[in-house]
């Protein structure tokens, strides 16, 4: 792979990452190279400890690498200082986590609006984006509810709306369905796929859930810090999901 031709939204070349505990050194990523394209949902699967969550972290700039190069949107991440990297993530990335990461005291609308305030948008733009994102994930009727009043599936949809409202170029999802039942899990992965297609977003999802494989445009199977399989699938181009889903 030629790094001078970094046309993908995310490009990694010969990336290595290890963790050290005392005298023990554990290799988590082992010379891994990868290109992830925009407008697709790419799913990284594999057993626990294979390095998939670490790969997500280094591609999003949350962790440094020991060796190799990572480009995101043509920007080489290791050339950015801490503040520049934070600005890059604020402007260009969205995150969806396993545990939702919602603030108990905030309504669904306030959860989505909060990162937009940090982006320095006008009050009207914040409201417009937040309402549009909640509407897109079917949560407009619940925008004034707090997390305790929402089901697990609804909480994750608020979390997706929070990421979507930033209009990110890159959307990272780390085990977004593991806390959900089958119906909600399918709804979430279909929603992420639709976001990739509708907005041209690069969506990179990590999961060990085999039910998600058929919904991805591309599947990367990892083991021992390497990509063992890279294949494409043909998911339903017109998935549907309900307005309100309980657990």
Please state whether beta strands 67-72 and 75-76 pair in parallel, antiparallel, or not at all (unpaired). Answer: antiparallel
The CATH number of the domain holding residue 149 is 3.40.50.300
For residue 243, pLDDT over 60 is answered with: no
CB 119 within 8 A of CB 90: yes
Residue 128 lies in a domain: yes
In a domain, 189, yes or no: yes
pLDDT at 7: 54
Residue 62 in any domain: the answer is: yes
CA atoms of 157 and 226, how far apart (whole Å): 31
Say what the pLDDT of residue 112 is: 97
Read off the pLDDT of each residue in 62-84 and give the average, rounded to a whole number: 92
Q: Is the pLDDT of residue 28 over 60?
A: yes
- Confirm whether 32 is domain-assigned: yes
Stretch (H or E) spanning 36? strand 24-36
Which of 101-105, 148-152, 176-180, 203-207 shows the lowest per-residue confidence on average (mean pLDDT)? 176-180
Instruction: Classify residue 238: in a domain, yes or no.
Output: no
Average pLDDT over residues 155-160: 94
Q: Is 240 within the bounds of a domain?
A: no
Domain tally, the chain: 1
Q: Is residue 127 part of a domain?
A: yes
Q: Report how far residue 195's alpha carbon sits from residue 200's, in angstroms, rounded to the nearest whole number.
A: 7
Confidence of residue 114 (pLDDT cuts 50, 70, 90): very high
- What's the pLDDT at 148? 96
> What pLDDT, on a 0 to 100 scale, did the predictor assign at position 244?
36
Range of the domain at 143: 3-232
Residue 238 is predicted with a pLDDT of 47
On whether the CB atoms of residues 246 and 151 are closer than 8 A, the answer is yes
The C-alpha atoms of residue 207 and residue 178 are separated, in whole angstroms, by 8
Please check whether residue 120 lies inside any domain of the structure.
Answer: yes
User: pLDDT tier at 21 (50, 70, 90 boundaries)?
Assistant: confident
What's residue 234's pLDDT?
57
The pLDDT value recorded for residue 39 is 92
> CA–CA separation, 173 vs 241, rounded Å?
19
pLDDT at res. 8: 65
Q: Using 50, 70 and 90 to split pLDDT, how confident is the model at 73?
A: very high
In Å, how far are 8, 79, 81, 127, 168 from 86, measured between CA atoms? 21, 13, 9, 24, 14
In 3D space, the residue among 66, 98, 77 whose CA is nearest the CA of residue 205 turns out to be: 98
């Amino acid at each position: 792979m030629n790094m001078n031709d970094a046309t993908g939204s995310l490009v990694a070349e010969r990336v290595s990452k290890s963790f050290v505990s005392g005298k023990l050194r554990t290799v988590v990523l082992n010379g891994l190279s990868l290109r992830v394209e925009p407008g697709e949902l790419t799913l990284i699967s594999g057993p626990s400890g294979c390095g998939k969550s670490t790969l997500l972290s280094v591609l999003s700039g949350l962790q440094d690498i020991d060796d190799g190069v990572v480009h995101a949107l043509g920007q080489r991440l290791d050339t950015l200082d801490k503040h520049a990297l934070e600005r890059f993530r604020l402007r260009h990335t969205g995150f969806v986590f396993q545990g939702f990461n919602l603030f108990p005291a905030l309504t669904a609308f306030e959860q989505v609006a909060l990162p937009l305030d940090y982006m320095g948008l006008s009050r009207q733009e914040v409201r417009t984006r937040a309402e549009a994102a909640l509407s897109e994930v079917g949560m407009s009727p619940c925008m004034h509810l707090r997390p305790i009043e929402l089901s697990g599936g609804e909480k994750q949809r608020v979390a997706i709306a929070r990421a979507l409202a930033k209009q990110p170029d890159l959307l990272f999802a780390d085990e977004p369905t593991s806390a959900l039942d089958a119906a909600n899990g399918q709804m979430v992965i279909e929603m992420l796929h639709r976001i990739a297609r509708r907005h041209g977003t690069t969506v990179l999802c990590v999961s060990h859930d085999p039910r998600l494989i058929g919904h991805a445009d591309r599947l990367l199977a990892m083991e021992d810090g390497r990509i063992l399989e890279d294949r494409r699938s043909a998911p339903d181009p017109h998935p549907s999901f309900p307005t309100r889903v309980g657990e």
